[in-house]
């Protein structure tokens, strides 16, 4: 069913907001119901009064009360039933089951100078607010912003902050999309963090989950059955309804949320979770509308929208004028998978689709992703499209992220599966490639703290989550006989808290120096910053490869050795100079002398050398 007209005719404003300084107005979408009441509460959650709302068009109910203003707490009662939180709530100070709170969008912003990020020059740092500091709050992370800026990061990506059940969660069980998590500091804390980030020259992206909503505290069906559809199914059950009856309001839920993060919180864009699971058979596709709304909400500021999407589909980042969705970037995990296969030996699950050979690594680096239409052994069908002509900055690459760490049963980081030398070599490639690099918090010093999967559901659901988690890994030979940590155990959460004191260790300082110096090179070296630059990659035998960056007559080579010994002779007519090498003792390595002698590069074991060539 096409929904062009329905999608383009915007649904009325929903939720609760302040008008004229103190009047609070509500509008609720509850089609097919006879009535909706607002139930007001005091600070101790005692009922103060009820306000019947008036029926309006399109299944909506609306009304207003003077002399309330910001801070009013309420729930909504449909047809005289038990009152539930507002699914469009802007604040849930007592959690997803407690009363909703009226908040204003006012804030003493100090970022009027801020113009937003350059999508072609992002260096992204992924943060889970709850485990990034011992306090686990927005404001507690503000003192860490100077560290990020000094490191060379320019974009902070916050894992989902929409309200989720309990005090701790990965964030992907969110149910109140508009309400920043109370235990993180709520709306005020998030605004202070973003304002402070802009003062440090850092952009902020919000990880938004629109492909599914969490099960605990999800009251959408109490208001309308049309929030979900049986027409499509996802790994999380019935799909969110983006293309069937009532979808205009459901799409508005998402599009209004997109606008809110950028307009009211001054966020610089979004990272969309699992965009391949946003099922929409109509036109225009929801992804295209998200991009359009996000860019417009910036009101002149640059805004970026990046999607996690496993399909390797070029249409995602093709401009809307050319029939695409117009996203600024897309997660491209093929390089991560190839590197894990090469350096760590992963081969089960989706890793069976990758060889980790030098030739396949070079192919992935040339293209941005590896699968361009070949059959995936893991999926059983063809995957991917040809990315030819797409700018490399559209591809977001990593050597670890929250998924690749947390989806392992023991939350072990890359450092537990590869040697320190391999870690430095992989990092050198990531930081000097033409693609957009993404770092997972603590990566810059090779953090040793795990990032486990953790939840704080009620006992009944929590038991099912624990059993499901352990069943998930029962078939993996690597983990048989080992007890997977209980996601519900508070210790699983606390063990995942980043330990910033690790930075004081000699090994951590070396890796940290590597990251700082290479990110500085990435930001200042003309060969790497040129918009007219080109790149290529090729294998140097079975266990080594080279990435070439060229611009303005100069060439930088990033030569990576996976294992064994590499002796590589450079062109005799070129002047060669070493720029950096991963085994430099200042980075924690063991090679005192330069790996370059004359025109010959010698690497032993996992390592990388950065060489400048001039004709």
Please name the residues in contact with 202: beta carbons below 8 A apart, sequence gap of 6 or more: 145, 148, 149, 153, 154, 155, 156
List 308, 334, 346, 444, catalytic entry: 308
165 token code pair:
């059940």
Euclidean distance between CA atoms 459 and 468, whole angstroms: 14
Structure tokens at 90: 């802007």
CA distance 541 to 552: 29
Supply φ then ψ for residue 139, to 5 degrees.
-70, -30
Verify whether residue 44 is a known catalytic residue: no
> What whole-number distance in Å separates Cα of residue 298 and Cα of residue 103?
21
d(CA 364, CA 534) in angstroms, rounded, equals: 15
Beta bridge partners of 331: 308, 396
Distance CA(561)–CA(540), nearest Å, equals 9
In the structure encoding, which two tokens stand for residue 78, read together?
A: 């449909």
| 132, two tokens | 């990034």
Are 36 and 76 a contacting pair, CB within 8 Å?
Answer: yes
Query: Residues 6 or more apart from 299 whose CB is under 8 A from it?
Result: 263
Closest residue by Cα to residue 10 from 262, 326, 254: 254
Closest listed residue to residue 178, CA positions, set 110, 119, 92: 92
Measured distance CA(592)–CA(581) in Å, rounded: 10
Contacts with 483 (C-beta within 8 Å, 6 or more apart), sequence order: 470
Active site residue 268: no
Sign of CA dihedral 396, 402, 407, 411: positive
Instruction: Tell me how far apart the alpha carbons of residues 287 and 128 are, in angstroms, rounded to a whole number.
Output: 25
Residue tagged active-site, from 37, 126, 243, 273: 273
* Bond preceding residue 590 cis, omega within 30 of 0: no
Q: Which residues are catalytic?
A: 273, 308
């Amino acid at each position: 069913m096409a929904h062009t007209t329905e999608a383009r005719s915007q649904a009325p404003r929903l939720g609760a907001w302040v008008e004229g300084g103190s009047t609070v107005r509500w509008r609720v979408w509850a089609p097919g119901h006879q009535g909706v009441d607002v139930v007001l509460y005091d600070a101790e959650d005692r009922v103060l009064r009820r306000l019947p709302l008036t029926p309006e068009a399109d299944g909506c109910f609306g009304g207003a009360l003077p002399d309330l203003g910001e801070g009013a707490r309420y729930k909504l009662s449909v047809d005289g039933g038990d009152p539930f939180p507002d699914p469009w709530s802007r604040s849930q100070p007592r959690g997803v089951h407690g009363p909703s709170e009226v908040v204003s969008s006012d804030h003493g912003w100090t970022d009027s100078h801020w113009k937003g990020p350059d999508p072609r020059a992002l260096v992204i740092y992924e943060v889970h607010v709850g485990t990034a500091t011992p306090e686990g709050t927005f404001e507690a992370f503000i003192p860490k912003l100077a560290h990020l800026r000094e490191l060379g990061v320019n974009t902070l990506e916050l894992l989902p902050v929409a309200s989720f059940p309990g005090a701790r969660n990965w964030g992907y069980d969110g149910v109140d999309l508009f309400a920043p998590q109370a235990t993180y500091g709520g709306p005020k804390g998030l605004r202070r963090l973003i304002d402070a980030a802009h003062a440090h020259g850092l952009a902020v992206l919000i990880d938004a989950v629109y492909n599914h909503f969490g099960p605990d505290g999800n009251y959408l069906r109490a208001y309308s059955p049309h929030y979900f559809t049986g027409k499509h199914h996802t790994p999380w059950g019935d799909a969110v309804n983006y293309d069937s009856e009532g979808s205009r309001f459901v799409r508005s839920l998402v599009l209004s949320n997109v606008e809110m993060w950028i307009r009211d919180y001054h966020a610089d864009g979004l990272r969309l979770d699992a965009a391949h699971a946003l099922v929409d058979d109509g036109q225009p596709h929801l992804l295209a509308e998200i991009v359009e709304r996000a860019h417009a909400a910036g009101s002149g500021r640059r805004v970026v929208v990046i999607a996690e999407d496993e399909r390797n589909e070029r249409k995602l980042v093709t401009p809307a004028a050319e029939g695409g969705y117009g996203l600024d970037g897309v997660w491209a995990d093929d390089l991560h998978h190839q590197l894990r296969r090469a350096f760590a030996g992963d081969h089960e699950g989706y890793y069976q689709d990758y060889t980790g050979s030098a030739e396949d690594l070079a192919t992935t680096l040339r293209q941005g992703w590896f699968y361009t239409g070949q059959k995936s052994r893991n999926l059983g069908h063809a995957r991917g499209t040809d990315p030819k002509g797409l700018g490399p900055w559209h591809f977001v690459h990593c050597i670890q992220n929250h998924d690749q760490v947390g989806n392992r049963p023991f939350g072990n980081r890359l450092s537990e599966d590869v040697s320190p030398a391999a870690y430095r070599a992989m990092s050198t490639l990531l930081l000097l490639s033409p693609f957009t690099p993404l770092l997972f918090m603590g990566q810059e010093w090779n953090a040793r703290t795990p990032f486990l999967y953790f939840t704080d559901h009620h006992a009944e659901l929590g038991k099912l989550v624990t059993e499901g988690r352990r069943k998930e890994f029962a078939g993996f030979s690597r983990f048989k006989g080992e007890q997977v940590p209980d996601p519900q155990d508070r210790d699983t959460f606390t063990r995942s808290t980043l330990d910033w004191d690790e930075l004081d260790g000699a090994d951590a300082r070396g890796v940290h120096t590597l990251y700082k110096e290479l990110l500085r090179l990435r930001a200042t070296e003309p060969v790497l910053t040129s918009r007219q630059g080109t790149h290529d990659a090729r294998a140097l035998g079975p266990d080594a490869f080279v990435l070439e960056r060229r611009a303005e007559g100069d060439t930088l080579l990033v030569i990576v050795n996976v294992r064994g010994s590499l002796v590589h002779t450079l062109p005799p007519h070129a002047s060669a100079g070493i720029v950096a090498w991963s085994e430099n003792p200042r980075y924690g390595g063991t090679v005192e002398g330069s790996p370059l002698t004359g025109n010959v590069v010698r690497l032993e074991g996992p390592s990388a050398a950065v060489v400048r060539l001039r004709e």
